[in-house]
């Protein structure tokens, strides 16, 4: 659906087959675990059985003697790491903490924390040897819940940790609260005093995992000349290289990271776990070493997203949202760096609300260090805001979408960080939801209910580099460095085809290794189609300029007298002078050599994305089980480059949100042991748990991109948690404030059990 007048495109908006598609449907595509190098051996990792313990000693001698074992490594095999913060991926990372997370140094901080690793001729032999490593632990009390960890008498993960606050204040006492930030404007207390209605609630969400189907893997070859090559599954080869360089103290140029096809990431594959271990094992053995995680290791040893506690007080007056006061506490896991800041900064974005006061706490607990997960921090925060807003509208007797429309943020509205929105599509998205066939149809039948919720995600820009090499037959090799998780080779090739007015099929995109293309930041923050797309556009314009110059040379005219139009070069002064793209490409050798368009940029002007979701549910009052009957996701995508993959991103995000809302959680016992580290008991939705997901694509072009692209992938996971909670409240009359809304929790609430 075109919401705003936009140019007529020839390639953008079509649905071509992705360039990497045939390889993937025939099983030929090479993922990280498919790498096989001559002489390759296998590594396995020993992990902590305790959630919190001091390592007194590690005895690896028996393991080293186990037949078939070639090397054993521990933290001592990593170079000493500095206590400083670097930008090494999507976020800033403390190098010492990153290194301690790779292989534990003095303490283990969560069950599953890597302690040692073995390389052997077969993975089975490596595993046998792990059993022979003796670790002497002094077990310490563990704390696994964010509110428990904030208590003054809580066990401390790090005695030296002090709370840092905005403005550089540091607490006197050690604490598990790593940081406290506040966002504030207006006068919330005055607004509460004069409000028509006020709602105050507490919400909790559990840690959840990205759940990518491909486990982490890394194959490293430490070569005789001191160069290191790593084949890995990552959202950002350059981020892996930077982290390896810091952890191993090895120059960037001597590390080559080869990004293999990636089997899902959703933010979780922006951090390294195995790569440095494979590197040191390879250095020690002189053999290429492959490490892969099993599923339990993925759950227990990689970064999920935070469990959260959120308290919110919201007020409305005259049918608008007027004030919000909120406290957010997010579990960072073993080391600081949760996504609480993003939660705080996005939770009010759908609204033009004058008075707010948001306190955000980043808290360490004895669980895996959290990593990014799709719109990191935003879904839990939106769960609180959108549930509270729903309750306000119920109390006021106002339609929940009309209320949102009345309170909607628009161009010029200030976000909580004080920055004014550029052109955004929040109102258009709400209008499309209000007018959707779904919302206009009645919801009927017992135990059924409808819920709506909105959400926002910033989307990112960051750095991208591409080159577009024009071949003599007019085909083009597009070399880029952004991991393609879900079709970006297609969306980038399409933008180049549009820019050059050439057929999509003539462009062959390749995701290159770190030796072969300029720096590219991670595929994260929904940035690739936007930022690498911007680079592709610039590279295409570079090609056009060069081709105009070549044509001018051939025709002996001034380059200003040559225009590039519809894939052809024309002389404005002489209508007989015309060359097609491929005709001129054929003459590149004669006119000055290869034509290669380049662009390297730091993309500014990322356009934020808004989504509003509508969901109908049925709750079985006898079992507490919720069935999703119908789901419609409305989203402003800017411009849908490849609409099928845009829809796919939205549908995938929604279904992850359904899982989060209804069944997914990290279940822990009191000692800090995860009880459900398998796909059997960590319940991601199956085909039978979801209906078809309807999408309504709204297009309000982003002024910061030549084709109007906004990021697409993240915001669809923001509204589902609240939308489903609101639907369940509508169906049952009971408001659920704790996730997941599992059958057990719903049944216990509805029947007053336990």
* Using rule CB under 8 A, residue 667 touches other proteins: yes
Choices 174-182, 404-412, 428-436, 639-647 (CB under 8 A): range interacting with other proteins: 639-647
Report the residue from 34, 77, 148, 578 that binds other proteins according to the rule CB under 8 A.
34
Using omega within 30 degrees of 0 as the cis cutoff, is the peptide bond preceding 740 cis? Answer: yes
Stretch that binds other proteins, among 4-12, 30-38, 93-101, 280-288 (CB under 8 A): 30-38
Q: Which of 45, 693, 722, 728 binds other proteins (CB under 8 A)?
A: 693
Q: How far is the CB of 430 from other proteins (least distance, A)?
A: 23
Which residues ranging from 207 to 246 are in contact with other proteins (CB under 8 A)? Answer: 210-215
Q: Which of 83, 172, 444, 754 binds other proteins (CB under 8 A)?
A: 754
Residue 23 beta carbon to other proteins: minimum distance, rounded to whole angstroms = 8
Closest CA to 543 of 516, 574, 507: 507
Report if residue 734 touches other proteins, rule: CB under 8 A. no
Sites for other proteins among residues 296-355 (CB under 8 A):
296
Rounded Cα distance, 108 and 274, in Å: 17
Question: Helix, strand or coil for residue 189?
Answer: helix
CB of 754 to other proteins, least distance (A): 5
* Dist CA 361 CA 83 (whole Å): 22
Contact 270, 239 (CB under 8 A): yes
DSSP 631-683: EEEEEE-SS-SSHHHHHHHHHHHHHHHHHHHHT----B-TTS-BS--STTTS-
CB of 174 to other proteins, least distance (A): 33
* Cβ-based nearer residue to other proteins, 215 or 304: 215
Phi-psi region for residue 319, left (φ > 0), alpha (ψ -120 to 50) or beta?
A: left
Tokens of 399: 């339609």
- x/- contact string, 53-92, with other proteins (CB under 8 A)? ----------------------------------------
Shortest distance in whole angstroms from residue 163 CB to other proteins: 33
Interface with other proteins includes 505 (CB under 8 A)? Answer: no
Within 258-297, the residues that bind other proteins by CB under 8 A are 261-266, 292, 294-296
Nearer of residues 176 and 523 to other proteins, judged by Cβ: 523
| From candidates 62, 541, 596, 684, binder to other proteins by CB under 8 A | 684
Contact between residue 448 and residue 616 where contact means Cβ atoms under 8 Å apart: yes
Q: Helix, strand or coil for residue 26?
A: coil
22 near other proteins (CB under 8 A): yes
Residues 604-623 that bind other proteins (CB under 8 A): 622-623
Helices 237-248 and 95-102 meet at what angle, rounded to 10?
A: 90
Is the separation of the CB atoms in 415 and 343 below 8 Å? no
Number of residues counted as binding other proteins (CB under 8 A): 82
Determine if 723 is a binding residue for other proteins (CB under 8 A): no
Task: Tally the residues of the chain.
Answer: 754
Query: Which parts of 430-489 interact with other proteins (CB under 8 A)?
Result: 485-487
Q: Nearer Cβ to other proteins, position 499 or 742?
A: 742
Residue 614, classed as helix, strand or coil, is strand
Of positions 89, 607, 652, 701, contacts other proteins by CB under 8 A = 652
For the segment 116-175, give every residue that binds other proteins (CB under 8 A). 124, 127-128
110, exposed or middle or buried, with CB in 10 Å at 0-12, 13-18, 19+? buried
β-sheet with 217-222: strand ranges across: 69-74, 114-120, 41-47, 289-292, 217-222, 228-232, 255-259
């Amino acid at each position: 659906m075109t919401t705003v007048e936009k140019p007529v495109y020839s390639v953008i908006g079509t649905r071509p087959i992705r360039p990497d598609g045939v390889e993937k449907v025939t099983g030929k595509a090479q993922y990280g675990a498919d790498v096989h190098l001559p002489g390759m051996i296998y590594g396995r990792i020993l992990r902590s059985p305790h959630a919190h313990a001091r390592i007194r000693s590690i005895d690896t001698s028996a393991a080293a003697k186990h037949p078939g074992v070639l090397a054993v490594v521990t933290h001592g095999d990593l170079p000493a790491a500095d206590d400083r913060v670097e930008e090494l991926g999507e976020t800033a990372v403390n190098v010492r903490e990153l290194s301690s997370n790779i292989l534990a140094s003095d303490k283990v901080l969560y069950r599953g924390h890597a302690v040692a690793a073995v390389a052997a001729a077969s993975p089975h032999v490596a595993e046998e040897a792990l059993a022979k490593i003796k670790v002497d632990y002094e077990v310490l009390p563990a704390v696994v819940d964010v509110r428990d960890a904030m208590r003054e008498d809580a066990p401390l993960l790090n005695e030296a940790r002090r709370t840092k606050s905005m403005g550089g204040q540091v607490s006197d006492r050690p604490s598990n609260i790593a940081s406290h930030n506040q966002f504030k404007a207006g006068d919330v207390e005055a607004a509460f005093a004069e409000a028509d209605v006020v709602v105050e609630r507490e919400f909790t969400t559990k840690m959840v995992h990205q759940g990518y189907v491909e486990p982490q893997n890394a194959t490293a070859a430490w070569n005789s000349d001191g160069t290191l090559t790593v084949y890995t599954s990552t959202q950002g080869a350059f981020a892996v290289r930077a982290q390896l360089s810091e952890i191993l103290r090895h120059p960037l140029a001597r590390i080559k990271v080869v990004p293999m096809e990636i089997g899902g990431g959703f933010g979780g594959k922006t951090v390294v776990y195995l790569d440095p271990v494979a590197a040191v094992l390879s250095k020690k053995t002189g053999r290429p070493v492959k490490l892969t995680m099993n599923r339990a290791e993925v759950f227990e040893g990689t970064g999920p997203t935070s469990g959260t506690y959120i308290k919110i007080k919201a007020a409305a007056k005259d049918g608008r949202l007027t004030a919000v006061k909120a406290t957010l506490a997010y579990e960072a896991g073993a080391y600081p760096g949760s996504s609480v800041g993003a939660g705080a900064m996005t939770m009010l974005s759908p609204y033009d609300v004058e008075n707010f006061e948001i306190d955000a706490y980043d808290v360490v607990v004895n669980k895996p260090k959290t990593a990014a997960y799709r719109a990191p921090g935003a879904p839990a925060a939106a769960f609180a805001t959108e549930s509270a807003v729903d309750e306000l509208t119920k109390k006021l007797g106002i339609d929940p979408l009309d209320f949102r429309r009345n309170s909607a943020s628009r161009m010029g509205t200030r976000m909580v960080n004080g920055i004014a929105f550029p052109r955004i599509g929040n109102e258009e998205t709400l209008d499309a939801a209000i007018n959707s066939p779904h919302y206009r149809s009645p919801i009927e039948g017992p135990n059924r209910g409808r819920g709506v919720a909105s959400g926002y995600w910033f989307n990112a820009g960051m750095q991208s580099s591409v080159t577009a090499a024009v071949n003599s037959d007019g085909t083009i090799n597009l070399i880029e460095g952004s991991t393609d998780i879900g079709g970006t080779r297609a969306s980038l090739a399409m933008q180049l085809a549009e820019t050059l007015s050439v057929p999509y099929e003539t462009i062959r995109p390749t995701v290159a290794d770190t030796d072969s293309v300029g720096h590219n930041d991670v595929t994260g923050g929904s940035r690739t189609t936007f930022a690498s797309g911007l680079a592709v556009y610039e590279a295409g314009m570079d090609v056009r300029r060069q081709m105009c110059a070549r044509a001018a040379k051939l025709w002996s005219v001034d380059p200003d007298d040559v225009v590039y139009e519809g894939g052809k070069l024309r002389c404005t002064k002489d209508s007989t002078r015309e060359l097609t793209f491929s005709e001129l490409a054929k003459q590149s050798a004669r006119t000055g050599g290869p034509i290669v368009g380049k662009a390297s940029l730091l993309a500014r002007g990322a356009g934020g994305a808004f989504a509003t979701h509508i969901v109908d549910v049925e709750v079985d009052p006898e079992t507490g089980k919720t069935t999703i009957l119908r789901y419609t996701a409305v989203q402003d995508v800017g411009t849908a480059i490849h609409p099928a993959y845009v829809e796919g991103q939205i549908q995938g995000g929604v279904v992850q949100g359904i899982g989060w809302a209804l069944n997914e959680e990290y279940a822990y016992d009191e000692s800090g042991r995860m009880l459900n580290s398998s796909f059997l008991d960590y319940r991601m939705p199956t085909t039978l748990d979801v209906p078809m997901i309807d999408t309504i694509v709204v297009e309000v072009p982003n002024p910061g991109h030549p084709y109007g692209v906004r990021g697409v992938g993240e915001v669809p996971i923001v509204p589902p948690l609240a939308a489903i909670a609101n639907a369940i409240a509508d169906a049952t009359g009971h408001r659920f404030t704790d996730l997941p809304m599992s059958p057990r929790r719903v049944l216990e609430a509805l029947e007053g059990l336990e």
